[in-house]
Amino acid sequence: MSLKRKNNKSTQVPEPTLRRLPGYLFFLEKVREKGVINISAPTIGKELKCDPTQVVKDLAVTGIKGKPRVGYNTYELCHALEEFLGFNRVNEAFLIGAGNLGTALMAYQEHQTLGIKIIAAFDVNEDKIGKHVGGIHVLEYNKLFHLSNRLDVKIAILTTPNNVAQDVAEDLVNCGVKAIWNFTHCNLDLPDNIIVEDISMSSFAAVLLRRLNDSEE
């Protein structure tokens, strides 16, 4: 999306592949629950409507080998995918900005299955401080600095208003945060080693509206 991060020596897994992996994982978990032991790439491709060789290439990043005429072992694959994505670990995260979107994310239980656990939320607004949503407490923003000294939290979810996002992001970096999930549409300017994942509504809207326009000729 923004600037490419090439801070790793060995060839990184391509982003399109990475984005597709959770889809495979969820599908595989579903069929595994139904008792399916083995599944082939063509079958996965048919269900998920994508190219079977793409499936093979994507799944290869996990290191799991399939057997000809049998396919992949669903248990092995699920496990390897979870491991590879980090979904089976508990990756603790702070949430900053307990507003409309922030509280929706706090209430969102599925984060657990994505390996991300919001352990505390922070806000500057008196009305928000002290509340708790989905078992997560909203703390005074200033407490972020004290808490981050004790805890080693590497991930932050940023849901403040746009105009304070840059300042808050800089605070987060100073608190030892290494990756920011940015829901604001502020173009964060941070050191290169900080991972920023922008989830920009506007980009989605742009693609949707334009494609809709295209389809109407």
Ligand X SMILES: NC(=O)c1ccc[n+]([C@@H]2O[C@H](COP(=O)([O-])OP(=O)(O)OC[C@H]3O[C@@H](n4cnc5c(N)ncnc54)[C@H](O)[C@@H]3O)[C@@H](O)[C@H]2O)c1
Partner DNA sequence: ATATATTAAAGAAATAATTCTTTATTAAAA
Partner DNA sequence: TTTTAATAAAGAATTATTTCTTTAATATAT
Give contact residues for a second copy (rule: CB under 8 A): 1-3, 5, 7-8, 12-13, 15, 18-23, 25-27, 48-50, 84-87, 91, 100-101, 103-104, 107-108, 110-111, 114-116, 154-155, 178-179, 181, 185, 187, 189, 193, 195, 197, 199-217
Which of 113, 36, 22 is CA-nearest to residue 72?
36
In the shown chain, the binding pattern of residues 195 to 214 toward ligand X, with x for contact by CB under 6 A and - for none, equals: ------x-------------
CA distance 160 to 5: 25
Q: Which range, of 75-83, 113-121, 160-168, 205-213, touches ligand X by CB under 6 A?
A: 160-168
Helix/strand/coil (H/E/C) assignment for every residue in 114-145 = HCEEEEEEEECCCCCCCCEECCEEEEECCHHH
Residues 3-32 that bind DNA (CB under 7 A): 4, 14-17
| Residue 26 CB, nearest approach to ligand X (Å) | 11
Of 5, 185, 210, 211, which lies in the binding site for ligand X, with binding defined by CB under 6 A? Answer: 185
Of 37, 70, 107, 201, which lies in the binding site for DNA, with binding defined by CB under 7 A? Answer: 70
Record the tokens describing residue 150, joined without a space.
């004790």
| Residue 198 CB, nearest approach to DNA (Å) | 14
Record the tokens describing residue 94, joined without a space.
């702070």
Q: Quick check: 200 binds DNA (CB under 7 A)?
A: no
| Residue 212 CB, nearest approach to ligand X (Å) | 20
Question: Which residues neighbour 41 within 8 Å (Cβ) at sequence distance 6 or greater?
Answer: 52, 53, 55, 56, 59, 66, 71, 72
Which of 19, 12, 24 is CA-nearest to residue 79?
24
Residues that contact ligand X, how many (by CB under 6 A): 28
Would you say 1 and 198 are in contact if contact means Cβ atoms under 8 Å apart? Answer: yes
Which of 59, 25, 63 is CA-nearest to residue 42?
59
Residues 31-50 that bind DNA (CB under 7 A): 40-43, 50
